[in-house]
Amino acid sequence: MLEKIKRISAKRKMRKNGSNLVLLGIISVVIAITTTSVSLAIYHNSGDIYLDRSRPGFLPDENENQGDDDGEPEYTFSKTGKITIGDLEEYLENLEVDVRAIDSYEDPFSEDALSDEYLGISVEE
């Protein structure tokens, strides 16, 4: 009889421990969802969301350069069909223009290559 009571008591402890584990899992999920929601709300409300340029909905500044100034589109391969020798020759001709432009720099790997004056960025004070 005593052993039967011990077995029943052990089963009740196991059920209680199992329910505690489920409760712990539910509480941890609720905490994770809450903290994630709060951090996303802060990220959005602070305006930092607009600084993330990897997002598809990024809104650039009005005075930001939107591309090449000369208006010439970059060369791209055809999206349909095969690439022919003519396509490759045209690509290499367009690439040669860019290579010559890079070669015309005085010292493209110097520290000054990233200065505001060298890049043509006006500094507003």
In terms of domains, do 88 and 43 share one?
Answer: no
Q: pLDDT digits over 14-63, tens only?
A: 777 778 888 999 999 999 999 999 999 998 888 777 676 665 555 555 55
Structural domain includes residue 56 = no
Q: pLDDT digits over 97-123, tens only?
A: 888 887 887 776 777 777 777 777 777
What pLDDT is recorded for position 57? 54
Q: Are 24 and 18 in contact (CB under 8 A)?
A: no
Per-residue pLDDT for 74 more than 90? no
Structural domain includes residue 124 = no
Note the pTM of the prediction, 2 decimals: 0.35
Rounded to 5°, the CA angle 52-56-61 comes to 60
Structural domain includes residue 114 = yes
In terms of domains, do 46 and 70 share one?
Answer: no
Q: Residue with structure tokens 């999920």?
A: 29
In terms of domains, do 65 and 85 share one?
Answer: yes
In terms of domains, do 45 and 22 share one?
Answer: yes
